[in-house]
Structure 1
């Protein structure tokens, strides 16, 4: 095929040949699969890090959360950079940063170094995510073809997230813990080469002057809220530090909104939220991410510590969720033009709610069969929600706002994921600790306090107890954990049921434009 140059687009989508459009989609989707994978790949490696790096429970939390904090707080700013500087180059910069930081994380010799490397990886994701969605919105025309493309894009994001524990478990069973990060190196390098060759560049036709004040306010506002959400379960939701962080986040957000209304060239034009599909899509994908990531956080522990699977076996048991998502994402891309965002997003949230309900009513004696049903529902629901909302968001945006508008989608996912882990994890932990208090423990009080940190700690302690004492305590700890899954999973079900109601009330119907007024169906 002869080489094709791709000048920066000024005002309308690139008229690239169909084959090249789908090749571009493949490049960004594979890169996104790795980014999604890294959101959860570390979960199964956390017990290993305790032994290898001597990480405490609090340090383990920040190894995971530094990634979400940096990504979530910077994504709006990075989306505006993509519109101003060029989406291809911001995507490539993010991929290069993500790949380099992955190598640093793989060879980190201390917890501090690993936390810093994970934070830089989060910055890379903040650059990658909105740029890729904006690229797709630019090269695919409106209509069914774009919806199918976004279905594939969302499947890559979701499948990467779900198979993270699977890949991590396999790597840990064959290599050292750093391999869960080093796997990003060959894919990242190949992605950079392919992006340079096949991804066209585009930017907003009218970018205006930079908005450093808006960027700073947005970063501080989102970072304050995310920090409070992350620290809430450990410090207590009513602790002074958490309440101050929440209050600071609200005040900074109010200042950001006020500034964006007055700024001549705002970083986040507030007019984009007048698009009904974008506003509803951001809200619904936030609720979907809450249920998806919160459920994965709980289920990985359930598989390993209650059902007794190894890290590799746990990954395999999550495989059906990945397969369901891989089917549901593109399928939703076919259904959205026919049924509309409202029906598909509501169906996806209902499936996520059903998955939560199955896990909420799980008993200690239940085996993998019940969890398998929950995994299939989880993957299918996530595929429907991510595709329907992402398509609605991109479809509602003019070329001028593709990058920063896509960033609102990424920010909603990050906030929903962090909140889901914090809230569902907190409810699980509270009931688990209460369950341990309620049993006649065959261990001293000081050791019981250690067992309350996690089920993994309790089981390790049980192995050191003599005879029947260890067996009895391990059984009681597992029962307390499964009992704690009830309120955690019911919280996920409640959030998704709320999402179904909001989807039916707020999301545009079939045949409606992004603001809710009807228009003829696109023939493409």
Structure 2
């Protein structure tokens, strides 16, 4: 038997248990971006090198993307609640290391360990929600809540981080995790029943190592490409190693007795489309958000906290987008739903392509609302497509697959869109200056940031040229990214327009059959309770007479 097994706990309303899980999820999502605005103060306090600053930011997503797929398999075998509590406590404990650091090394170590904790937590969150909510519509609403909380946490990070830095110091960004982590862990332990895949085989150790190694090499190469160069020897070697390891992982999965991804999942067109749509959506949205932050701070003169507040329309747009996904899943063909979400993101990017030096904030806010709505729609339907294919008994692996694609897409978006913007910026700046860039500073992304952060120090004429060059580069990047998103939307619609019957493994079929039997039994129990109540009411009437 491979269906989920849940241990009895003190019964509480499902929304209480789900709320406890979502608090921990919000904390982990916020941690991913909380320190982004604290870099200047951290530099003044600890005097790290540029490479050390980069790894303070990138250590978290690197370890998270590397470890999340193996952690999903561990959660399915050893218990989702247990993994959730372990991961949250790990994040809280290692936050103390960062908060008390006297040098950049412990800060980097703390961020990497927090990423490991997040990798343990994230697959468990969706798995717990899948176990708590077995009815289709209720489960879809739970996925909607998960999507909104993940997006809100990531976007709230710079806002909360900026407020903490201005009120206290960068260390407060670590200290805040301790009480929240303890509260979330205690609430989940008390309210959420343990669940695991009953009779699950041993974790596929070889598959875990191959997938972790491949994702580590891939994400490292993506992060390092802008600074080292996309065609530099270390970066090309890392991409080659990633391709080799991931190809070996795919081949090994076809031969393993108990693979991480069974054949039914690997051959499922819906899963492939969901992973691609989710990755491209994250690439576009997170890369665009990074560029919008540069625009807000560079051209509009916002402080880090003010810029963080001005990215909240992205969160505001996610809720109606996720709500629209529930409606479309009931009334529209599946092929239309992810394509519609990607189309909204593409529309937002085309609107961003109209930005100019004097555009102002209104257009940027409208771009965020459109992209947020598209992101909410895509993320909600992607959850359902992947978790529906893997089955409830392997929901940890399904959630991890989605998380891995999301982290890779986000990292690639920031790196690729940042590099494209830098290239277009430098080229336009050089052409405008007649072959010599008018703004001093380093080359590459560092030069772009130097030019934007020192606009106030430049003569008015030079400043106008720099502003025009940056908005031109932003427009070029927006149009290129919009084309990529639109192409993905078309390909997703084409692949899903006449879906074949999904290839389900025997384990998935058995789990679904057992789940259906459980649902029938629950309906019968409800009917019996109603009949008993009716009999009691008749007796009470007779006794009163």
Structure 1 length normalisation: TM-score?
0.89
Distance 1:66 1:149 in 2: 30
Alignment partner, residue 398 of structure 1: 391
Shift of 1:224: 0.9
Structure 2 residue 105 is matched with structure 1 residue 116: no
List aligned pairs for 1:374-523, cutoff 5 A. 374-440=367-433, 447-449=440-442, 453-459=446-452, 461=454, 470-507=459-496
Deviation at 1:280, TM superposition (A): 1.9
Deviation at 1:19, TM superposition (A): 6.3
**C-alpha distance in 1 between matches for 2:100 and 2:467:** 35
- 1:514 Cα deviation from its structure 2 partner: 5.5
How many Å apart are 1:134 and its aligned residue? 1.2
Distance across 2 between alignment mates of 1:479 and 1:48: 30
1:314 equivalent in alignment to 2:296: no
Q: Which of the numbers 318, 325, 332 marks the counterpart of 1:325? A: 318
Alignment of 1:357 with 2:350, yes or no, is yes
Q: 2:138: which partner in 1?
A: 145
RMSD of aligned Cα (Å): 3.0
Contact 1:450–1:458, Cα closer than 8 Å, also in 2: no
Structure 2 unmatched ranges of 5 or more: 505-518, 524-545
The alpha carbon displacement at 1:13 in A equals 7.5
SS at structure 2 position matched to 1:203: strand
Q: Which secondary structure state, in structure 2, belongs to the residue aligned with residue 188 of structure 1?
A: helix
Equivalents in 1 of 2:328, 2:17: separation in Å?
Answer: 23
**Cα distance in 2 for residues equivalent to 1:16 and 1:346:** 41
Alpha carbons of structure 1 residues 313 and 21: separation in structure 2 relative to 1, 3 Å: same
Q: CA deviation at 1:16?
A: 9.4
Q: Tell me, in whole angstroms, the C-alpha distance in 1 between the residues paired with 2:181 and 2:240.
A: 39
Pick one of 278, 285, 292 that aligns with 1:292: 285
Secondary structure class of the residue paired with 2:195: coil
Alpha-carbon offset, residue 41 of structure 1: 2.5
Partner of 2:537: none
Task: Please tell me whether the aligned partners of residues 508 and 514 of structure 1 are also in contact (alpha carbons under 8 angstroms).
Answer: no
Distance, in Å, in 2 between the alignment partners of 1:335 and 1:515 is 24
Which moves more between the two structures, 455-464 or 308-317? 455-464
Q: Is the 8 A contact 2:264 2:503 kept in 1?
A: no
Deviation track 1:34-53 (CA, whole Å, cap 9, x = no partner) reads 22222223332233333333
Secondary structure, aligned partner of 1:108: coil
Question: Which has the higher mean CA deviation after the structures are superposed, 332-341 or 447-456?
Answer: 447-456
Over 3 Å counting, the alpha-carbon distance change for 1:272 and 1:296 in structure 2 is same
Q: In the TM superposition, what is the alpha-carbon distance from 1:508 to its structure 2 partner?
A: 6.8
- Quick one: structure 1 residues 154 and 475, their matched pair in 2 at CA, closer, same or farther if it must change by over 3 Å? same
Mean Cα deviation higher: 291-300 or 326-335: 326-335
Query: Is the CA contact (8 Å cut-off) linking 1:205 and 1:399 kept in structure 2?
Result: no
Quote the offset at 1:74 in angstroms: 0.7
Aligned 8 A contact 1:150 1:387 in 2: yes
Number of aligned residues? 508
Indicate conservation of the 8 Å contact 1:13/1:141, yes or no.
Answer: no
Query: What is the alpha-carbon distance in structure 1 between the residues aligned to residue 64 and residue 178 of structure 2?
Result: 20
Structure showing greater Rg:
2
Equivalent residue for 1:185, pick from 165, 178, 198: 178
Task: Decide whether the 8 Å contact of 1:277 with 1:508 is kept in 2.
Answer: no
Task: Confirm or deny that 1:156 pairs with 2:149.
Answer: yes
Contact 2:59 2:108 in 1 (8 A): yes
User: Secondary structure at the residue paired with 2:335?
Assistant: helix
TM-score where L is the length of structure 2: 0.86
Note the 1:31-110 alignment, pairs <5 A. Answer: 31-110=24-103
Q: Distance in 2 between matches of 1:360 and 1:444?
A: 24
Q: Distance in 2 between matches of 1:252 and 1:218?
A: 7
How far apart in 1 are the matches of 2:387 and 2:444? Answer: 47
Please give the alpha-carbon distance, in whole angstroms, between the structure 2 residues aligned to 1:506 and 1:444.
46
The structure 2 residue matched to 1:134, chosen from 127, 138, 152, is: 127
Unaligned runs of 5+ in 1: 1-8, 517-521
CA deviation string 1:423-475 (max 9, x = no partner): 1011011122233433449x9999443796244423555555xxxx5443333
Q: Does 1:347 align with 2:340?
A: yes
